[in-house]
């Protein structure tokens, strides 16, 4: 039997709007006016919605509990992960409730869409990738410090605000590391981005996310992940056996000239098969590829302007349509 989930709140910084305040007497189903369908994926359908109490635009994920084949505990696990996160680099979770046979999860709406949406007109320039990777690493450092592994890092799960703020989304497969079991051996994730140790179902830790980050960096530069031409089942066989992907192996001779040696080395570091030598999020934040953000011509403000300009141009090429919020996975 499914019982209504208790509404949860995350903290907010002065720069963020306050989360909706849930009261037991609220008819929450009537509070939110669904405006348009944004997409569907892991567990459910996502809508753009209006909070008729605060006037805020939010994202609402609806999960059909009656027809779902998924374990309700898995759905509740996702809610737990979202409600436990309080980082400006993680999509904010506002609360949840059950209406009829549907679980409603209310989350932050990001009008820039996902990085996958922004790839539709073409690959990212290095300046935009630099901003995405830097803020994604800040989100991962937060998660890993909290003993959490995301396990599904990819462009579809990286959301962007209209001002270029990068936020990590979709914790449908996220897992938490307990104090007495610091590694997992379950098989979860998306094949093209999956670390070799995950595919082999050997023990792994948060560095599996670092491998996926490296694959995502190639995806942003190329427009698709390595081995995209193969069937996913074939990819599961190739990743553990083949040598680690490199940027040079995935781009033609002309396009590779557009990327720095620092970026190429950053990817190589992420994709080290020896987990012991693969750096963690904090170490990667000090990599020359990201440290040069502080040098002349690469300051964070200029890079953020580059990303917001790229977003605006991408939306223009998409016909003025705002990309879907990729929070459904």
Question: 3-state secondary structure string, the chain?
Answer: CCCCCCCCCCCCCCCCCCCCCCCCCCCHHHHEEEEEEEEECCCCEEEEEEECCCCCEEEEEEEECCCCCCCHHHHHHHHHHHHCCCCCCECCEEEEEEECCEEEEEEECCCCCEHHHHCCCCCCCHHHHHHHHHHHHHHHHHHHHCCEECCCCCHHHEEECCCCCEEECCCCCCEECECCECCECCCCCCHHHCCHHHHCCCCECCHHHHHHHHHHHHHHHHCCCCCCCCCHHHHHHHHHHCCCCCHHHHCCHHHHCCCCHHHHHHHHHHCCCCCCCCCCHHHHHCCHHHHHHHCCCCCHHHHHHHHHHHHHHHHHHCCCCCCCCHHHC
Which of 56, 83, 108 is the last residue in one of the domains?
A: 108
For residues 144 and 214, membership in a common domain is answered with yes
For residues 56 and 174, membership in a common domain is answered with no
Is it the case that residue 302 has pLDDT exceeding 80? no
**pLDDT score at 208:** 95
Arithmetic mean of pLDDT over the chain: 80
**pLDDT score at 112:** 86
Which of 72, 90, 108 is the last residue in one of the domains?
A: 108
Q: What is the mean pLDDT of residues 143-152?
A: 89
The yes-or-no answer on residue 324 being catalytic is: no
Is it the case that residue 278 has pLDDT exceeding 90? yes
For residues 157 and 76, membership in a common domain is answered with no
Which of 76, 108, 140 is the last residue in one of the domains?
A: 108
7 found inside a domain:
no
pTM over 0.75: yes
pLDDT level of residue 92 (50, 70, 90 thresholds) = confident
For residues 170 and 312, membership in a common domain is answered with yes
For residues 164 and 293, membership in a common domain is answered with yes
Q: Any known ligand binding at 61?
A: yes
- Domain of residue 66 covers 28-108
51 found inside a domain:
yes
| Active-site residue identified among 27, 70, 84, 152 | 152
For residues 198 and 85, membership in a common domain is answered with no
């Amino acid at each position: 039997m499914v019982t209504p989930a208790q509404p949860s709140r995350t903290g907010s910084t002065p720069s963020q709007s306050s989360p909706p305040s849930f009261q037991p007497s609220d008819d929450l189903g009537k509070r939110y006016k669904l405006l348009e369908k944004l997409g569907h994926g892991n567990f459910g359908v996502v809508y753009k919605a209006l909070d008729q109490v605060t006037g805020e635009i939010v994202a609402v994920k609806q999960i059909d509990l009656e027809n779902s084949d998924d374990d309700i505990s898995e759905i509740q696990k996702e809610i737990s992960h979202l409600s436990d996160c309080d980082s400006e680099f993680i999509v904010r979770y506002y609360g949840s409730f059950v209406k009829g046979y549907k679980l409603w999860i209310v989350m932050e709406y990001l009008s820039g869409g996902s990085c996958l949406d922004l790839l539709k007109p073409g690959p990212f320039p290095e300046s935009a990738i630099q901003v995405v990777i830097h803020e994604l690493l800040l989100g991962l450092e937060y998660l890993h410090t909290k003993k959490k592994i995301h396990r599904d890092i990819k462009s579809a799960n990286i959301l962007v605000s209209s001002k270029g703020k990068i936020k990590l989304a979709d914790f449908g497969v996220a897992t938490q590391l307990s104090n007495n079991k610091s590694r997992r051996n379950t098989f979860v994730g998306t094949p093209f981005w999956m670390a070799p140790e995950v595919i082999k179902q050997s023990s792994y830790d948060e560095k599996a996310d670092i491998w996926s980050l490296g694959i995502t960096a190639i995806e942003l530069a190329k427009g698709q992940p390595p081995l995209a031409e193969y069937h996913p089942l074939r990819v599961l066989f190739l990743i553990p056996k083949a040598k680690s992907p490199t940027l040079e192996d995935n781009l033609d001779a002309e396009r590779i000239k557009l990327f720095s040696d620092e970026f190429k080395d950053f990817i190589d570091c992420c994709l080290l098969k020896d987990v012991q030598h693969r750096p963690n999020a904090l170490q990667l934040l000090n990599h020359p590829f990201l440290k040069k953000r502080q040098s002349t011509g690469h300051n964070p403000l200029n890079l953020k302007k580059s990303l917001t300009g790229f977003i605006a141009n991408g939306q223009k090429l998409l016909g003025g349509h705002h990309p879907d919020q990729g929070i459904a996975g």
